[in-house]
Amino acid sequence: MRKYISIIPALLACSMAAQEHSAVSGRIIGPDGAAVEYASVGICGRNIGTLSASNGEFTLNADIMENDSVKISHISYKDTVVAAVALADRSIPVVMQARKLDEVVVYGGKKKKGRLAGRGMRIPGAATMWSTAGVGSEIGSMIETEKMFEVKEIAFKVRSNSIEGARLRINIYNEKNGFQNVLHSPIYIIIPVSGKKQEFNVAVNGDIIMEPGKYFVSVMFVDYDREAMACSTDEGRICFPLYLKDSYRRNGVMGELESISVNMGLAVRGNEYR
């Protein structure tokens, strides 16, 4: 007989008591039993988190208190909260329920091709970078639109990359609703190893409409080829050019968004409603 962890309502209050464990581990699956890869896993209210691996497994290294709760988030699924102590038995997976997509609203009127400026002024020679230890980090650009905007493509540049199999994920957060991701499904990009500048134009599928307001468009470093990098003498780094413009970054999964005065040059292309 298969066993599953009972889901605690997402509004469960998160509290702390005496320290019990130094880590918790688990495995995350969807309702069909398939592994949920790159889900955000963190301790409620403590800005401590990690990502599940491609097989859905995760280990959260932190001082776990008796009454701690663990929140699990993924673009394609409903947020799930479980008691940390329920993760003691790794043979019992956490089952996430598929997220119900918002109703598609059809907007009338004419539209024209457009681009939302987000880069700002290029800083010659400046760059921001991640090493392999930066998995879970993200950086991007603040984008503002005054009219309805249909997103079709996200464009960005990579200055150089020496991390084998570096995998990034695109995110679009609406500032108005507390930085909730507006995408319906994950968008991943594999960055080839190269010492030269590379430019990426990533198609966005689905009906993604930005209503007037501010958005944080980011890339998150989610994974890399660990076997290949274990055999490499190079620690590996992925570097992005920097631009002068207010934006945000997050140094780890479930970490706080930090306001910064530079961004890595993401731009949004699509159709603007007149």
Are residue 73 and residue 122 in the same domain, yes or no?
A: no
Q: Outline where DSSP puts E strands in 30-68.
A: 40-43, 48-51, 57-65
Query: Mean per-residue pLDDT for 34-42?
Result: 94
Are residue 233 and residue 117 in the same domain, yes or no?
A: yes
Query: What 3-state DSSP class applies to 185?
Result: coil
Are residue 138 and residue 219 in the same domain, yes or no?
A: yes
Q: Is 27 a member of any domain?
A: yes
Are residue 184 and residue 218 in the same domain, yes or no?
A: yes
Are residue 85 and residue 122 in the same domain, yes or no?
A: no
pLDDT digits (tens, 9 = 90+) for 63-109: 777 788 899 999 999 999 998 888 866 778 999 999 876 655 555 66
Beta-bridge mates of residue 187: 170
Are residue 135 and residue 62 in the same domain, yes or no?
A: no
pLDDT digits (tens, 9 = 90+) for 102-132: 655 555 667 788 788 666 788 888 889 999 9
Beta-bridge mates of residue 244: 121, 262
CATH, residue 237:
2.60.120
pTM of the model: 0.84
Q: Is 151:209 a contact under the CB 8 Å cutoff?
A: yes
Are residue 147 and residue 33 in the same domain, yes or no?
A: no
Are residue 30 and residue 78 in the same domain, yes or no?
A: yes
Query: Mean per-residue pLDDT for 231-250?
Result: 89
The total number of structural domains in the chain stands at 2
Q: Is 238:130 a contact under the CB 8 Å cutoff?
A: yes
Are residue 120 and residue 249 in the same domain, yes or no?
A: yes
CA 70 to chain centre: 17
Q: How far is 73 from 222, CA to CA, in rounded Å?
A: 14
Q: How far is 68 from 146, CA to CA, in rounded Å?
A: 42
**Helix segments in 43-174, DSSP class H:** none
pLDDT for the residue numbered 15: 40
Our CA dihedral for 171, 174, 177, 181, rounded to 10 degrees, sits at: -20
Query: Mean per-residue pLDDT for 36-45?
Result: 91
Q: How far is 98 from 33, CA to CA, in rounded Å?
A: 12
Are residue 82 and residue 124 in the same domain, yes or no?
A: no
Q: Is 104 a member of any domain?
A: no
Are residue 161 and residue 259 in the same domain, yes or no?
A: yes
CATH, residue 90:
2.60.40.1120
Last residue within a domain, chosen from 29, 63, 95: 95
Q: Is 130:234 a contact under the CB 8 Å cutoff?
A: no
Are residue 238 and residue 143 in the same domain, yes or no?
A: yes
Q: How confident is the model at residue 18 (pLDDT cuts 50, 70, 90)?
A: very low
